[in-house]
Amino acid sequence: MAAGPMRMRATQGAGFTDVRVLMTHPMETGQRKDADGKIVPLHFIQNVTVKLNGKVVVEAETSQAVSRNPVFSFRIKGGAKGDKIEVSWLDNKGESTSIESAVA
Amino acid sequence: MSQQRRQFLQRTGILAAGIVAGLCKPLLALAATWNKDAFGAKTVADALKGLGAMGAVPSTAIVIEAPQIAENGAVVPVEVTSNLPGTTSMAVLVEKNPFPLAGKFDFREGALPYAKLNVKMGETADLRVIAWAGGKTFVATKEVKVTIGGCGG
């Protein structure tokens, strides 16, 4: 399974904006064997960046211990309807994907 | 070898080096930081050393929400919150995993010290959460019992 699209939802909570993001990624640990008994090489997301109106608010480094098709939640102070939130990831093979949406 | 051929080889060598250097630059610029020492560590002690969090002080201000019993170790939901004032970063470690460090989160101005993620757990183990606040490190742990391990086999 290859890396694929992302989905994101940013909703206003009590004094903060809740950002939920879903990534499509195999997150291979490098320990799993395929049907032929060959080890599936390491393939995982290493960096996740969250931006609010173009400014970085959260920077995460992740390992292969994060589950397949990762789901993350972050919280941003305040945040108004229409604020732009961008989340991007970068994996150990240099692949990356990003998504942008407005606070609902 | 003729003088011409030697010159030609020298020039192409320089040219090739230039192309490689030129190609490598944008790639390097793209690569974000990833703490290889901490993430490549096979023990909790080494991971903490890589993170620079050896002398972390236990704190009840770090809240870890995770199931007591996880039926499926491949997807264990973990929610971490720091109530320590001035928290700048948090890290999540799974003690008995082959590589304990699962993630590190740096919170800039505008973000709350909170993160939710799903981690893989090979077996029943403690989750260890480190928080950086005011130049000091703090730690909290929570045990999760795992019925079926999630590291693939």
Tens digits of per-residue pLDDT, B105-151?
999 999 999 999 999 999 999 999 999 999 999 999 999 999 877 66
Mean of per-residue pLDDT scores for chain A: 94
ipTM of predicted assembly, 2 dp: 0.94
Residue B2 pLDDT more than 90? Answer: no
Residue A81 pLDDT more than 80? Answer: yes
H/E element, B114: strand B111-119
Predicted local distance difference test score (pLDDT) of residue B153: 42
pLDDT tier for residue B8 given thresholds of 50, 70 and 90: low
Find the CB nearest A67 among B31, B97, B120: B120
Mean pLDDT of B15-43: 68
Contact between B114 and A74 using a beta-carbon 8 Å cutoff: yes
Is A69 in a helix, a strand, or coil? coil
CB atoms within 10 A of CB B142: 17
What are the extents of the domains in chain A?
6-102
Predicted local distance difference test score (pLDDT) of residue B20: 53
Q: Which of A57-66, A73-82, B5-14, B66-75 has the lowest mean pLDDT?
A: B5-14
Rg of chain A over Cα atoms, rounded to whole angstroms, equals 15
Indicate whether this model's pTM tops 0.80: yes
Predicted local distance difference test score (pLDDT) of residue B1: 53
Tokens, residue B106: 């740096």
What dihedral do alpha carbons A66, A101, A98, B118 form, nearest 10°?
A: 0
Find the CB nearest B34 among A47, A66, A96: A47
Tokens, residue B107: 């919170």
State pLDDT tens for residues B64-108. Answer: 999 999 999 999 999 999 999 999 999 999 999 999 999 999 999
Contact between B117 and A75 using a beta-carbon 8 Å cutoff: no
Burial degree of A62 (CB within 10 A; 0-12, 13-18, 19+): buried
Predicted local distance difference test score (pLDDT) of residue B26: 43
B24 compared with A24, residue with greater pLDDT = A24
Residues of A (54-93) whose Cβ lies below 8 Å from B? 55-68, 70-77, 90
Let me know if domain A6-102 sits in CATH 2.60.40.10. yes
Mean pLDDT of A12-33: 94
